[in-house]
Every structure is written in C-alpha cells, then in structure tokens.
Structure 1
Amino acid sequence: MARLEHVNVTVKDPDATAAMLGRLFGWKVRWAGGSIHGGRTVHVGEEHSYLAVYTGPPDTAQTEPDNSYTARGGLNHIGVVVDDLDEAEARVTAEGYKAHSHADYEPGKRFYFHEENGVEIEVICYA
C-alpha cells in the first residue's frame, strides 16, 4: 500500500506562500529550513500530507528555465511513503526505472527515480 505524502513546488517566497496556504486552508507549517541546492523549503499541510514550497538561492532564480528547482511553478518531485523501501525499490527496478540519490537522513530513508514523462518521484520509508 502506498499513499501520496507531498508535492514539492518552486515558488518565489516559501514563507509567504506557506502563510497564504495556512490562511486559506487552515494548514500548519510542519517544518521549515535550508534544503537542496542552498535553497529554503517550508512544509505546509496537515498530519498525513503537505505541500513543500521551495526556493533556490537568489542568484539562481529564473536563470535555468529547464531546471525545476529554479523555475517558479516547477514540479520538483512527488513524494510517496511506503512501508518497505527495499520492496518498493525492487518494484521500481522491475518496471525498468533506475533508482538514484539514495539517502538516509532525518526523517527517513529514501531514493528517487524519473518516470517516462520526466517526473521525478521520491520514495520514502519512515520505518
């Protein structure tokens, strides 16, 4: 069984975007801090799912239009939580995808893969 955990989107100001989402939907900031590529991310949502709103360092904004981590409105990846990371990776590999960027850092273990449309999917296990 798998469930959608989060979507990560590049925005101009993650704190302002998180505040607006909180006002509109009653969502709470679950986490905020430094992130990939020297950027900043705010996780805003509810107990079981959230939107990660991200911005890169100021000097990269809009300079790489084909890079989702610098293009505003870019879809960075879709995160899916699983109970067994090894089993999930075996299924991903059996489908012909190549897992990459394996990591074991707070709050859990993860890997990524790109599906045939170019969408990056992050597979996470918190066990």
Structure 2
Amino acid sequence: MPAMLEHTNLTVSNPDATAAWMCDLFGWHIRWAGAAMAGGRTVHVGTDAHYLALYTPGAPGKATDDNYATIGGLNHIAVTTDDLDGMEDAIKAKGFVTGNHGDYEPGRRFYFHDADNIEYEVVQYD
C-alpha cells in the first residue's frame, strides 16, 4: 500500500488568520488549535483526511530567500476546485491578487500569494 500524505507544517505569521481565510475559501475546517513548541501556536486546518499545520513560533524570524532557489524551500501549495472562476472571484474578494493563469493538459490554473508570501496554485481539471 502506498503512503498517504497526512499533513504539511508551515510557519506563518498568524495561524488563526490564515486558517480563517482557508476555511472560507477552501471549505476546510479547524481540526485542532493550541499551544506549540517555542512558545508558539499551531492551528490544524483542512479536511478529515488531510490538513495543514499552521505554526507560529514565539519569536518568528523573517524569510530571507526565494523558496524556488532554496534547497528545501516550499515552492507552492496546490488545491483543486470544480469552479476555477468562482474560486478566483472569492480569492480576489479576500484581497489576494491572482496571476500566472494557464491552460494545460488536463486543466486550467492560476496562482496567488498570501500575506506571508506563500504561493498557492488553484487547479481545475477538465
């Protein structure tokens, strides 16, 4: 049996705020929230099967490098939707700027960055 991805842990500036927009846009729910290592806080947000652990340390550092050029860096997180245009409208309504639109086999996609400059790809498969 192949391994299944359960979660990914990201460091963000405000896990509650990030989880809130993810719940609104992606239809996810908060699975758990509480104190974390180094005086920080973590919020687990996603579905019953998969989630993102959104962590902030007690004293966060500042990102210094472009993740696409950093070994071990996070390039982007991708989500799928059945309504790409509707999802883009909702993302713009939250104040995010979308770009890098493209059609490719077998679907369409666009990208946006959140307040922490984490890149997200939104895909609709045909």
TM-score, scaled relative to structure 2: 0.49
Which structure is richer in relative contact order (CA contacts within 8 A, separation 6 or more)?
A: 1
